[in-house]
Amino acid sequence: MRPKRLLPLFIICFLMICFLMPVYSSAQNWSGIIAPSRAVNWSKAGVAGGIPSGSWTQCGSTIAAYGTAASPGSPLAIDNAIAACGANQFVLLGPGTFYLNEGICFGTGTSGSGSSVTCSGAKNNVVLRGSGADQTKLIFSGGYGCEGPLSAICMENGDNSWPGGPNQTANWTAGYAAGSTSITLSNVNGLVANRSLIMLDQCDDGFTGTGCSSGTSTDTGAVWNCYVVGMCSSVGGGPGGAGRNNRSQQQQVLVTGISGTGPYTVTISPGLYMPNWRAAQSPGAFWANVTTTQQGVENLSIDAAAVTGSPTMATGIIVYNCYSCWITGNRMLFTERNHVWIYESSHVTVANNYMYGSQNATDLSYGVEHYLGSDELIVNNIGEHIVSPYLQGGADEGVVWAYNFGIDDYYQTAPGWFMAGSWLHAAGSAMDLWEGNQQSGFTSDNRHGTHHFTTLFRNYFQGTQAFCAGSPCGSQTVAIQNYANSRYFNVIGNVLGSPYQNNYGSIASNGVDGNSSVYTVGWSGNGGAPDPSCCAMDALTPNSLLRWGNYDTVNAAVRFVSNEVPSNFNDGSGSPSLFVNPVPGSQTLPASFYTSSQPPFWTTPYGTPPWPAIGPDVSNGSLPNTGGHANNIPAELCYINAPVDTSYQNSYQVTAASWSNGTATLTIGSNAVVQGEVRVTGITPPGYNVPDGVQITGKSGNTISYPLASNPGNFASGGTLTWPNIRLFNASNCYGSSGGTPPAPPTGLTVVVH
């Protein structure tokens, strides 16, 4: 039990935090719940000023579908149509299937050797738009080399600057306080006010010098930036292109002004987020000569099954050195590494998309991977049959992941191994918000280093799913798993767990059964266990963890418990810590930590969820095993109701069926790789049929099992099982604000079990 704090100490510490923190922290939605030292202003995440709509005009004629599967066409016509646009215009692709032999780029396309295309320059303020993701379909037989990685669509600046070879660098010699909007740099070559992005970084703790090669990794006992194997990481690997060597803390900002003759005063937006920038760590900056802005990809379907890099470096859409760009209303299928890759870009919005499948279903198989940048908004997306659909794979600050749905997280490497849908996977992630998501679970690992100041608010994380790659889920089945050195996290107003969990918390180093707990916290290894080859267990991870107002299935109650608030603890920043969090004076929570109003996509033709949909103050919720505290979010309503694209379905004949204890078991005429949702029709008796889909809970050889409440009777004849059931997705049919006439919902809807 934590000791009681004396009132004078509480007041002194609270005032000290308030005066240390920036002014912009004083009136946020989270004020009074989270201490200003532990959060930032998330209201400006995503495209600055919002995605433009209505005023942009079409340039050129609508491009009709072309190419065939046997003879795919060149993307040159599309590339050059983009290049020919004026500012604030869009290229429109008509309905039909485009078969393309290479990826599309946002530059001027020129014919290369053979059938290849190269792009030069960059195009700002232009959109590539389809006629709807269920109408305009792009099937690629090859990708475009987008400053390195292959991509189906390359949103780029045409300037091959990256952390391993930046165009410009500078020493950062003054202006380190949190909230500061004025810094001093030794070089400003190529910088343009209100256009250029710069990446700020500093040496990891214990290192110093221009190359950060002097010294050794040192735990400060507070904020600790590190990716050294055996100290804080199980495999290391460094930033791996997501930063400069031994510089894992990074924030990307917009230059808003430049003055002086050297050294130069540079004003930036937003102000600095982290509290530990300092001269002793040799802070610096790097940037590209060109930053592109306001490129968009909208309302089309991408099949990237043939876009394959080496090794695993191909993507659906990459956003490279871009400010205020967006990806909305698209369907992306069968990508290799990821569906969307955000690289050295800021204020990007990824919204209202549907992602299905991975080529490998193993390591490096993600949905949206944020690799490098700040202040993105990843909102209202659907991720299905992907290892981890929402992944922080590089350094970042101020990213918002909100109202995303994930199902059937498929990791074929280890059957039975549960993979969380939301994941922190690299050193340098800090000050992020995960809000309102409905997914399998959340993991902050130590595979590539340390993490800080992450907030989880009003999410529904189950800690398991129906099936895990050919076996029942049994390992890592945890709702929230914060490995060692995941420090100063805030977990507020969430709904956590399922009937599977039998333990509230496995807390290093005295916890039990990390494979079936609501929380595992502070352990260095998997499943609530030590891993000496990685790092020591970390007492500061649980000691600094804020938990307030969460419902969990083990306690079957909402917990507003003062001793789960880190209101008095010591760390390397002081005694008490500078990052203590006073016990909130109220149990009232705002609807959101980043928006002041209900999002525009919230109204759907399939029902409008309560706002907020998830949390301790929600009652009569529609989801089972949540105490009435959770409802389906719009993205899941879209997933349930969207029609199936029959062009991707395989059909299997049912030869036998049986029922026992709430489970139906079918024998099909093939030992097929089937995972996730299946649809069953044509069986007699009809009680076995699930025409609107159900998640399987078992597979052995050529038998498939799924939950079925009552006994349909003895199998007589017939039956067809279909899989995969990829959605024929169109955002305008799912979300009321997008317009269009939605189809009627299917009758006899089966609730998705996951």
552 and 654 part of one domain? no
Inter-residue contact 135 to 730 (CB < 8 Å): yes
Residue 541 sits at φ, ψ, to 5 deg, of -60, -55
pLDDT tens digits along 575-631: 999 999 999 999 999 999 999 999 999 999 999 999 999 999 999 999 999 999 999
* pLDDT for the residue numbered 751: 31
- Which of 647, 679, 698 is where one domain is finished? 647
Q: What is the mean pLDDT of residues 134-152?
A: 94
Q: What is the mean pLDDT of residues 638-661?
A: 97
- Does residue 331 fall inside a structural domain? no
pLDDT beyond 60 at 470: yes
406 and 532 part of one domain? yes
455 and 496 part of one domain? yes
pLDDT beyond 60 at 57: yes
548 and 670 part of one domain? no
pLDDT tens digits along 316-341: 999 999 999 999 999 999 999 999 99
Sign of CA dihedral 354, 358, 359, 365: positive
pLDDT beyond 90 at 545: yes
584 and 455 part of one domain? yes
- Does residue 426 fall inside a structural domain? yes
- Does residue 405 fall inside a structural domain? yes
* pLDDT for the residue numbered 743: 37
Inter-residue contact 381 to 368 (CB < 8 Å): yes
632 and 713 part of one domain? no
* pLDDT for the residue numbered 741: 36
498 and 471 part of one domain? yes
Sign of CA dihedral 331, 335, 339, 345: negative
User: What is the residue type of 579?
Assistant: F
For the chain, what percent of residues have pLDDT higher than 90?
84
Q: Which helix (H) or strand (E) holds 640?
A: helix 634-641
Q: What is the mean pLDDT of residues 633-660?
A: 97
User: What is the residue type of 77?
Assistant: A
Q: Look at 294-298, 359-363, 733-737 and tell me which has the smallest mean pLDDT.
A: 733-737
Confidence of residue 9 (pLDDT cuts 50, 70, 90): very low
* pLDDT for the residue numbered 185: 98
585 and 572 part of one domain? yes
* pLDDT for the residue numbered 241: 81
Confidence of residue 120 (pLDDT cuts 50, 70, 90): confident
Confidence of residue 79 (pLDDT cuts 50, 70, 90): very high
pLDDT beyond 80 at 18: no
What letter would DSSP give residue 468?
A: B
Residue 659's CATH number: 2.40.30.180
Task: Name 487's Cβ contacts closer than 8 Å, sequence gap at least 6.
Answer: 222, 223, 224, 450, 451, 452, 453, 538, 540, 541, 544
- Smallest Cα–Cα separation from 245: which of 295, 286, 292? 286
Q: What is the mean pLDDT of residues 500-529?
A: 92
524 and 673 part of one domain? no
Q: For residues 657 and 114, which has the higher predicted lDDT (pLDDT)?
A: 657
671 and 623 part of one domain? no
609 and 654 part of one domain? no
Q: Find the domain containing 180 and state its range.
A: 168-287
- Does residue 717 fall inside a structural domain? yes
- Which of 270, 287, 304 is where one domain is finished? 287
Q: What is the mean pLDDT of residues 44-60?
A: 93
Report how far apart the first and last C-alpha atoms of the chain are (Å, whole number): 37
* pLDDT for the residue numbered 112: 57
For residue 674, CA distances in Å to 177, 670, 690 come to 54, 10, 16
* pLDDT for the residue numbered 115: 56
pLDDT beyond 90 at 358: yes
635 and 661 part of one domain? no
- Does residue 32 fall inside a structural domain? no
pLDDT beyond 50 at 3: no
pLDDT beyond 80 at 21: no
- Does residue 282 fall inside a structural domain? yes
pLDDT beyond 80 at 116: no
CB-CB neighbours of 397 under 10 Å: 26
Inter-residue contact 143 to 307 (CB < 8 Å): yes
- Does residue 360 fall inside a structural domain? no
* pLDDT for the residue numbered 547: 98
At CB < 8 A and 24+ separation, what contacts does 259-263 make? 262/186, 263/173, 263/174, 263/184, 263/185, 263/186
Q: Which helix (H) or strand (E) holds 7?
A: helix 7-20
pLDDT beyond 80 at 16: no
- Does residue 201 fall inside a structural domain? yes
- Mean of pLDDT over the chain: 91
Domain count, the chain: 3
CB-CB neighbours of 449 under 10 Å: 33
The structure's pTM equals 0.94
- Which of 624, 647, 670 is where one domain is finished? 647
* pLDDT for the residue numbered 27: 77
